Structure 1
């Protein structure tokens, strides 16, 4: 089965979402109206690439917050796994559970992946920046976890 999704671009309206966070609270796009949000999708908590990326966001959180950005991480993991991941890595930003990949599909962040000899469908690493008015100012697919946050920070803070 191949899932066809349309990739989003800067200027598009960011799709709405309502997800459960690691503390089992409901979090919606509308909760962030009037604020800038970095919404990033990652395949699986506590895996090497996802840990690298999450820790990079953690380590750059104060600079991003000072520039007015909030960070939300989204994966298909259940809230309990997200809670453990956040505790293990000292993550202080919200991690959201997109079990089934509905929101990932809406953002064009779901598709064919290969791990070794296995091919399957899943969440693809990607990052979106949502402006105060709900439009996208940045959409990036096929993100490399290593160095991604530094590149994003340069793009956002030193255009």
Structure 2
């Protein structure tokens, strides 16, 4: 009887550890999304069109995307340290692939807050891991506005 009890406890601990590891992978996708958006915002603040284009999936082959990158770089270039004020991720919790829109508010060097929307694609699953790709970034939007459906 005692042996069955110990085997049951060991099995429960093993199941708990497996589920915890899978959940950690799901939550790490939010961190990857935040890092990618932060890198994009920093590139815009520097006015680095090449870095902006590199951060957005497929942007190098899209004339419209390259134009938006150049416009954002010119409009948002500002000296100083970038600070993310608020980041609403594209999804709070997803165990499957998803597309969504993240909203980021940031400032640089004491500037007024800059608000933008970023279309994000998450692919993968908890077992194989998730990949996060930025698909599109909006122009600056008013601080009290929701993200537009079309950028």
Q: TM-score under structure 2 normalisation?
A: 0.28
Q: Which has the higher contact order (CA 8 A, sep 6+)?
A: 1
Structure holding more helix per residue: 2
